[in-house]
Every structure is written in structure tokens, then in C-alpha cells.
Amino acid sequence: MSARSTERETGPASRPPFLRSLAGIFLTGNTFVITVLAFFSALVIGAVIIVFATPSALQAWHGFFASPGAALGPSWKAIAEAYGSLFAGSIGSPTAIAKAFATGSPADLTRALTPISETLVAATPLMMAALGIALAFRAGLFDIGGQGQMILGAAGATLGGFLFPNLPAPLHIAFALLVGAAFGAAWGFIPGILKAKTGAHEVITSMMLNYVALNLLTYLLTSALYQAPPRVEAISKAVVPGARLPPLLGHSLRVNLGFVIAVLCVIGVAWLLKRSSTGFRFRMLGLNREAARVAGVNIELQYVLAMTLAGMLVGLGGALLVQGVDFRISPLYGGSIGFDGITVAILGRGSPLGVALSSLLFGAFTAGGRTMQVNTSIPLQLVQVLQAVLVLFVAAPGVIRTIYRIKVLRGGGRIFGGWAG
């Protein structure tokens, strides 16, 4: 038998079909593979930062050439402790989970489920913010006004949550959610109608509306309608108990019905984009605006509709946050969730499923980062570095392909269905 025939028999064609398919996936680098490799690369960079942030590990490297094992040991310990705390704070400690199921004690169950509960709580408003921004992305629009839309949504839900205190609980919850969604939709409608009627770029108008929303919130919190008496500081009245979202796992855990509503919204947006004529027009507009116009699509109407729906989703995220977790609002409410939604939408590549998974990942980072900071000397800013590097690699897949020598698929460099600008 010749050497060439032997090579042919032992080459890729002789491997089982499953292995050939698996090798093909990794060699061509589809979206899933690029995201997994980006996550792995971000963890590697984070590990290097952990070593530099741990004085004992950094000191041990001075004697690397004399004793490599003595240098690597403290570094590995620091990395394992940091990432272990990050995992335990976001998913849960395996030891605590095993103990809870063995004893069945309510206290042990609460302790074991608290990390995953906090992850879901952190992921819920992020999921809604990113979902609205991703919807605008698919229609070729860049909604930078998520922060303002979330603030207005929270303000609307707070108003609906205390305005009619005698409403039955299910009706009151639904009413407050609808008011929050309506406030957010109104704040998304403004940049949409401005773009449709005047051509004003939605990036500029939606960004400026963030500052309007912040100052409007400050004004509202000092008005008699919102301000909680007899307090003099800018803080709102509390959402009454009948308008608060019920907990999913008992009152000792913060995860609530808001997470279920967010998941249902993800399913709804996925159906809208894939199965409805409106979603088809959005996607057509995002891929090629001029082709959509030639095909008879009312471009201006789609701009208004997409931005209004995006604002409604983000505003609903603010409503879920205030009705499920905080129960009152104050100045600078919502932190940076509206802006973080842009990052999550990019990481999710503009798809509803990707947004949901990215939100859970960022929620895990948020919940686990606090535990990591408490248990180790690693600052919370490491989580922000991991998030930034991860999004950088996902947004620039060419970097990952170059590092891991992955072939380029046709159309594989496109992140979204389209942002026409």
C-alpha cells in the first residue's frame, strides 16, 4: 500500500461524520464558535489582570526562572479563587446546593438559590433594554436613548403604582406596567417622528433626550404628585403592595414575575421579526433602505413604529425594575442599564435569543462580581474589563479569526441583520 493511499485512509475523510462536522464548525467559525472563543479569550485576559492585581502572585514571578512552580502556584490560586467566587456569586456554590437538597431546610435552600436569583434580577431590566435596542438595530436604527426611555418607563410605572391604591392586585400590576410601557413608547416615538419628518439622526436626538429625561425626573421627584411626604429629599412615593410583582421563589428571594415577562417579550419579539409582515419590513429596511423603498415599504412609518416599539420595550424594563425590586425611584434612577443594553445587544448580535443569553451572562457578571470583590482582593472593575473585552472580540470577529486561524464564512463578519444608519 502506498504512502498516499495510507494518508487518504487516515485523513479527514476517514473520520466519523460527527467528528468531520465538528471540525468543520470550528474551522469555519460560525457565530456560536466566535462567541465561545471570544468568551474564552476574555477569561484569559482577565486571568492576566488578576495576576497583576494580586501582590502575592505578582511577587512570586520574580523567582520564575529559579523555581517556575513556586511562581505559577500563587497565580493559579489567585485566578481560581477569583473565578470561583465569580461563579459561586452568580450560579451558586456546589457545596451549598448539595447541602440544601440534602437537608431540605428553607434557610439552606434560600442560601443556595440566592446567587441565581440575583443573576436573574440583574438580567431582567438588561434583557428588556437590550431587546428594544436590538429591535431598532434590525430596522436600521441606532437607539442611544435607552437610558431616558428606561427612566420614563420607571416614572410611569411608579405613577401607576401609587395613583389608584385601591385597585385589585392583578389589575393594578397590569395597569402600572402599561403606564410604564406607554411612557417609554412616547420617549421612543419622539426621535422616530423627528427622523421620519425632518431627517434628524436618531443617534443625536435619542441621546439628547436622555438628558431631558434625567432633568425631567429630578423635577417630578420634587413635585407634590411624586414626592413622598413628609420627606424633603427627591424621592418618590412607594409603589403600593398591590402593584408589586409577586416573587417566583418566595419572599426571601428577589427574583420575581418580571423575569417571566421579560422572557415572554423575547419570544414575542422573535415572532415579530421572523413571522410577521412588520418584522419582515423592519429587516428589509435594516438590510437595504433603498431596496425597501423600491419594494413599496413606507420608510417613514417604519422608522416611527420601530423606535416606538423599542422605547416601549425599554420602558417596560424600567417598569419591571421599579415594580419588582426597588418600589420607588430617585434621581439618576436605573444607573447605566440603558447604556449597558447597547453592549448586550451587540454581544447578542441583534437576535432575541442572543440578547436573552447575553443578558443572563451580564447579570451573572453583576451578581458574581460583588461576591468576588468581597471574597478576594480583586476589584469589581475586573468584571467591567471582562465585559468590554468580550464585546470587543464579538464586535470584531476578525481578531478572533486571526488569533485562532479560523476561515472566514461568506457574510460572517456582519453582526446584525443591518444598521443602515
Q: Global pTM? A: 0.86
- Region 220-244: mean pLDDT is 89
For the CA atoms of 149, 150, 156, 157, the dihedral, rounded to the nearest 10 degrees, stands at 150
Q: List the single range of 42-56, 136-150, 193-207, 241-255 with lowest mean pLDDT.
A: 42-56
Q: pLDDT tier at 23 (50, 70, 90 boundaries)? A: low
Give residue 267's domain range: 124-362
Pairwise CA distance, residues 117 & 250, whole Å? 11
Residues 6+ positions from 374 with CB-CB distance below 8 Å: 85
213 or 378, greater pLDDT: 213
113 within domain boundaries: no
What number is the average pLDDT over the span 190-198?
95
More confident residue, 168 or 35: 168
93 within domain boundaries: no
Higher pLDDT, 403 or 328: 328
Q: What span, in angstroms and rounded, lies between the C-alpha atoms of 164 and 172?
A: 8
The CA angle 419-134-119, to the nearest 5 degrees, is 145
The answer to whether the Cα torsion of 39, 42, 44, 49 is positive or negative is negative
Residue with the bigger pLDDT between 21 and 417: it is 21
Position 384 scores a pLDDT of 83
> Is the per-residue pLDDT at 158 higher than 90?
yes
Nearest Cα to Cα of residue 177 among 74, 316, 64: 316
Question: Does the pLDDT at position 186 exceed 80?
Answer: yes
Q: What angle do CA 161, 163, 164 make, to 5 degrees?
A: 90
Residue 37, domain member (yes or no): no
Share of the chain above pLDDT 90, in %: 51
Distance CA 207, CA 161 (A): 28
Residues 333-338, mean pLDDT to the nearest whole number: 88
Taking the C-alpha atoms of residue 132 and residue 312, their distance in angstroms, rounded to an integer, is 7
**Higher per-residue pLDDT: 229 or 240:** 240
What is the grid cell recorded at 261?
A: 415577562
Instruction: Name the average pLDDT for the chain.
Output: 86
Residue 129 pLDDT? 96
**Predicted pLDDT of residue 156:** 96
Give the number of domains in the chain.
1
pLDDT at 13: 55
- Lowest mean pLDDT segment, chosen from 268-272, 346-350, 392-396: 392-396
Give the three-state DSSP class for 409.
coil
- Compute the half-sphere exposure of residue 401: CA atoms within 13 Å on the CB side of its CA: 17
Residue bearing the bigger pLDDT, 415 or 377: 377
In a domain, 229, yes or no: yes
Look up residue 37 and give its three cell numbers.
472563543
CB 157 within 8 A of CB 326: no
Comparing 128 with 49, which gets the higher pLDDT? 128
- Whether residue 327 is contained in a domain is answered as yes
229 band by pLDDT with thresholds 50, 70 and 90: confident
SS (H, E, C) 151-216: HHHHHHHHHHHHHCCCCCHHHHHHHHHHHHHHHHHHHHHHHHHHHHHHCCCHHHHHHHHHHHHHHH
Does residue 36 fall inside a structural domain?
no
- Taking only the tens place, the pLDDT of each residue in 31-60 is 778 888 888 888 899 888 888 888 888 888
The C-alpha cell of 254 is what? 428577589
Q: Is residue 103 part of a domain?
A: no
* Average pLDDT of the residues in 306-332: 95
Q: What is the pLDDT of residue 30?
A: 67
Quick check: 250 pLDDT over 60? yes
What's the Rg (C-alpha) of the chain? 25
**pLDDT at residue 2 is higher than 90:** no
Q: What is the pLDDT of residue 9?
A: 46
pLDDT per position as a tens digit, 70-123 = 778 888 888 898 899 889 989 988 888 888 888 888 888 988 899 999 999 999
In this prediction, residues 246-271 reach a mean pLDDT of 94
Mean pLDDT of 370-398: 83
